[in-house]
Amino acid sequence: MKLRNLLSEKTFFSFQVDKNLTIKGLSYNLFENSLAHDLIDKSFSYLLNVLFFDDDFQNSKFITTFKNKILRVFEDGKFIKDSVVVSDIDMKSDFYYSFSFGLELFRQETDLVFVRFSDFDVMDGKKEYYKNIFSEYKDQFHVIKKLTRISHFIVDYTVSSRMIHTDEIFPELLDLVPNEDNKYMIRRPGEKLMENEITRSKNFFFQTDMLVRGEIEQVNDEWQVGDKWLKLEAKVLKRGSDGAALLLGGIIYDISDYRNYKDLEYLFSIYELAITSGGIGIFHYDLDKFTNQYFEANQIYAELLGIEPDENDLFSFNDFEDVLLEVENDITDKIDIKKTLNKLFSGDIEGTTDDILKIKNKKTGKIKYLLSSSKIDSKYEDGSPKRFGGIAIDITERIQSEMNQIEYAYRDELTKLSNNRKLIKDMRQRDKGLGLFFDLDNFKKVNDKYGHLVGDKVLKLYADKLKEVSNMFENITPYRLYGDEFFVFAEGQGVDFPITFEELLIKKIEEGVRTFTEEVVLEASMGVSEYEPGMDIDDFIKDADYSMYRTKIKKKTHR
């Protein structure tokens, strides 16, 4: 029976040490143990090894502190009492211990210090240890002050770089099965993934590797888990004397509402327009009178669609279907209006539906956008609709204005290139290709030395040459992302294309720089990433960004 197992059943135990910190006596409940005879005349450190781990106890700070307390009692004879929680500082074991202790001097022929441990408790797992760390670092993450559903996690590199120690909220956020010990494994892409384990993109691991090496101070990443969007923030909390990361900690919290905010804001603006525009068209289906192939409507609704009633003053559903056009994704991502109507006809919709319709007026041929709201008034006993109807409002001017704003929002004002929002939008329809990420070298020095007017001129020149070279090929699109960062998507191109493109661009830039009155040196670092349809767009762009970052580091190292 191991000594620590025995001690976990005892309320107290004691021993005596001399000035050489050698064990000279044991309390009866230690002495009765089969291992106890091996403790007499052994060092105090040896006892601690047996007591806590039966192994090489690594908490040198605790050992030194305890030894100093004993020696101080020998010197001044004062009684010392305290309570502590002890663990192996290198975390070679999952055990940690809490106890109270008292130190008292007994003067005899050979003075001895009587050491008494009480309320001794052996605990399995490091939950309390990590909770203490959570409380220490949580103020480093500002979002904690704003949100309440926040999960905390620790990666203890002295245990494993793949093991995440978490709180109870973590599995709930990541849709994992809760583990009793709150430990979860994380795997890199390509590694075999076991049940209830986590894997992330290679970009995430690239960031965390940079964080561990000290190249960046914090990792911020967004994860999509099911229908939720989560944000992760992580920092290195503790490093060893050699600078190696020992503890990495962070938080994860739900940002789904924030990501959806802009969509809601857009919908609210549509409603605002509907309230103020007037000219409301009304339609109504009454299945007690006729089938769902016919409906009643007012004159405004008929004029909006350009349709005519029959001899019974009823309108044909076929005429309605004929004027419908597909709505652009930029305007709405709601399901097709025909599917909404099918749900109305089957009685599967509760409450009010709101849809944006794009129609081609049957009389004038003009394209119009309508805001349509529908609701079931009453149902038959089997749940099928009896009467339902709704309204429609012309929002064409607002939609066209929105589309103009969208077009403006997709273009960089300075360089006239498409911007980062347009890049993300375009990638949804792209085929396999390459991404080229360009970052101007020492651009800040140009601004500092010659001023922002020259800096803007440099950015325009680079953008013009980027577009000029792109136009030399098919399906090549340049973008300006932020500041002095540019991106080129080369659809259908192979691995040799980036070198060819960069060589042509350098020549064009050299020609353009000659037109400057200032002696501007214009160079850029390029990174490359590969794109496959269906790939996460953020990961694709980040891949190219990190590749560019490595190129820039190599340049600096070479210099």
pLDDT, tens digit, for every residue of 237-275?
A: 889 999 999 999 988 988 776 655 444 444 444 444 444
Indicate whether 267 and 361 sit together in one domain: yes
**pLDDT surpasses 90 at 479:** yes
In whole angstroms, what is the distance from residue 127 CA to residue 129 CA?
A: 5
* pLDDT the model gives residue 468: 93
- In 349-455, the DSSP E strands lie at 352-360, 367-379, 385-394, 433-440
Residue 438: the pLDDT is 94
The reported pLDDT for the residue numbered 538 is: 86
Q: Are residues 243 and 278 in the same domain?
A: no
Q: Which CATH number characterizes residue 314's domain? A: 3.30.450.20
For the CA atoms of 361, 365, 366, 371, the dihedral, rounded to the nearest 10 degrees, stands at 20
Q: Among 401, 405, 402, which Cα is nearest to 332's?
A: 402
Q: What pLDDT is recorded for position 91?
A: 43
Sheet holding 294-297, edge to edge: 315-316, 294-297, 280-286, 385-394, 367-379, 352-360, 324-325
| Residues 169 and 56 grouped into a single domain | no
> pTM for the full model?
0.35
Instruction: Tell me: do 240 and 280 sit in the same domain.
Output: no
The residue range of the domain holding 205 is 128-254
Q: Which helix (H) or strand (E) holds 223?
A: strand 219-225
Question: Which of 387, 397, 430, 445 minimizes the C-alpha distance to 537?
Answer: 430
Sign of the C-alpha dihedral, residues 406, 407, 410, 411? negative
If asked whether residues 119 and 132 sit together in one domain, one would say: no
pLDDT averaged over every residue in the chain: 80
Query: Are 184 and 284 within one domain?
Result: no
Q: What is the pLDDT of residue 129?
A: 57
Q: Look at the alpha carbons of 502, 506, 507, 511 in this order and tell me if their dihedral is positive or negative.
A: positive
> In percent, how much of the chain has pLDDT > 70?
79
Same domain, residue pair 115 and 144: no
Residues 268 and 382 in one domain: yes
On whether the CB atoms of residues 314 and 295 are closer than 8 A, the answer is: yes
> Where do the DSSP E strands lie in 395-496?
433-440, 476-480, 485-491
